[in-house]
Amino acid sequence: MKNFTIHLFICFSALILISACTQKKGDDNQNLSEMEAQAKSDIFVVVDSSLFNIVNPDASLEKLTEGFEWSEGPVWVSEFNSILFSDVPTNQVYKWNDEEGLSKYLNPSGYTGEVERGGEMGSNGLTLNNDGQLVLCQHGDRQVALMDAPLDAPEPNFKPLADNWEGKRFNSPNDVCFASNGNMYFTDPPYGLVKNMNDSSKEIHFQGVYLVKPGTNEAILVVDSLTRPNGIALTPDESQIIVANSDPDKIHWYIFDVNEDGTLTNGQIYFDGKGYGEKYSGLPDGLKIDSNGNVFATGPGGIWIFNSQGDHLGIILTGHPTANCAFGPDEKTLYITADMHLMRLKM
**DSSP per-residue codes, 307-345:** -TT--EEEEEE-SS---EEEE-GGG-EEEEEETTEEEEE
Nearest C-alpha neighbor of 171 from the set 152, 189, 145, 155:
189
Nearest C-alpha neighbor of 219 from the set 184, 172, 176, 175:
184
Greatest C-alpha distance within the chain: 87
Q: What residue numbers bound the domain in which 254 lies? A: 27-346
Nearest C-alpha neighbor of 168 from the set 135, 226, 210, 126:
210
The CATH code of the domain that includes 211 is: 2.120.10.30
| Cα angle 293-294-299, degrees, rounded to a multiple of 5 | 135
Q: What is the pTM assigned to this prediction?
A: 0.89
pLDDT at 10: 36
Contact 204, 186 (CB under 8 A): no
User: Alpha helices of 132-218 — where are they, by DSSP H?
Assistant: none
What is d(CA 192, CA 228) in angstroms, rounded to the nearest whole number? Answer: 12
Q: Determine, yes or no, domain membership for 72.
A: yes
Q: Determine, yes or no, domain membership for 307.
A: yes
Q: Determine, yes or no, domain membership for 3.
A: no
* Kind plus residue range of the DSSP H or E element containing 18: helix 2-21
Contact 188, 137 (CB under 8 A): no
Nearest C-alpha neighbor of 253 from the set 207, 285, 290, 301:
285
3-state helix vs strand vs coil in the chain, percent to 5: 15, 40, 45
Phi, psi at residue 28, to the nearest 5°? Answer: -115, 15
Nearest C-alpha neighbor of 253 from the set 265, 240, 268:
268
Task: Convert the pLDDT of each residue in 31-50 to its tens digit.
Answer: 544 444 444 468 999 999 99
Q: Is 166 left (phi over 0), alpha (psi -120 to 50) or beta?
A: left
Q: Determine, yes or no, domain membership for 2.
A: no
pLDDT at 148: 98
pLDDT at 198: 74
What is d(CA 31, CA 40) in angstroms, rounded to the nearest whole number? Answer: 17
| Distance, first Cα to last Cα, the chain | 61
For the CA atoms of the chain, what is the radius of gyration? 21
Cα 101–chain centre separation: 25
**Cβ atoms within 10 A of the Cβ of 269, count?**
15
Q: Determine, yes or no, domain membership for 42.
A: yes
Q: Determine, yes or no, domain membership for 199.
A: yes
Contact 93, 106 (CB under 8 A): yes
Ranges under pLDDT 50 in the chain: 1-30, 32-40
| Sign of the dihedral defined by the CA atoms of residues 42, 45, 48, 52, in that order | negative
Look at the chain and report how many structural domains it folds into.
1
Q: Determine, yes or no, domain membership for 21.
A: no
Contact 67, 85 (CB under 8 A): no
Q: Determine, yes or no, domain membership for 5.
A: no
182 in helix, strand or coil?
A: coil
pLDDT at 41: 63
Contact 328, 81 (CB under 8 A): no
User: Is 42 buried (19+), middle (13-18) or exposed (0-12) by CB count in 10 A?
Assistant: exposed
